[in-house]
Structure 1
Amino acid sequence: MADSEQSSTEDHTVDSQEVTSEKLKHDFSEDEETLIRRMYDLLGERWHLIAGRIPGRTAEEIEKYWKAIYSISE
């Protein structure tokens, strides 16, 4: 019984990480995601400059989004 409790706890941790990434992904529109990727290719990690091109977004939001989505694949 302890084994089943432990595995469900581990599964819950993985699920919450996936949910966090999915939630961040859904907080940005496809146009915003595309613009962030293009601007990142041009400017690198200059989050404040990228945020200046996306009304209503802060540099911190964009950096957090980028690291949540793209640091997993690196």
Structure 2
Amino acid sequence: MADLDHSSEDTSVDSREENSQDSKLEFSEDEETLIIRMYNLVGERWSLIAGRIPGRTAEEIEKYWTSRYSTSE
């Protein structure tokens, strides 16, 4: 029975992780300003930019940037 309880816990943890990933894509005004300033300095070096924002990954910042500032030609 412990195994059954454990597997149901895993499912709920996974859904919580998905929700937290969605909320992480919301950036504060300070984070947005820093991303823009860093992008102007270092370009698309997402790992360098992420190093300046605690709790953010390079992938999150790149995804934010491309969704917000990408130009379609």
Q: TM-score, normalised by structure 1?
A: 0.62
Moved over 4 A (4+): none
Question: Distance in 2 between the 1:72 and 1:43 partners?
Answer: 19
Matches within 5 A, 1:26-65: 27-65=26-64
Q: TM-score, normalised by structure 2?
A: 0.63
Question: Distance in 1 between the 2:72 and 2:61 partners?
Answer: 17
What is the identity percentage for the equivalent residue pairs of Structure 1 and Structure 2?
76
Q: Which consecutive unaligned segments of at least 5 residues does structure 1 have?
A: 1-22
More contact order relative to length (CA 8 Å, sep ≥ 6)? 1
Q: Number of residues paired by the alignment?
A: 51
Kindly name which structure, 1 or 2, has the bigger radius of gyration based on alpha carbons. 2
Question: What is the RMSD of the two structures over their aligned residues, measured on CA atoms?
Answer: 2.2
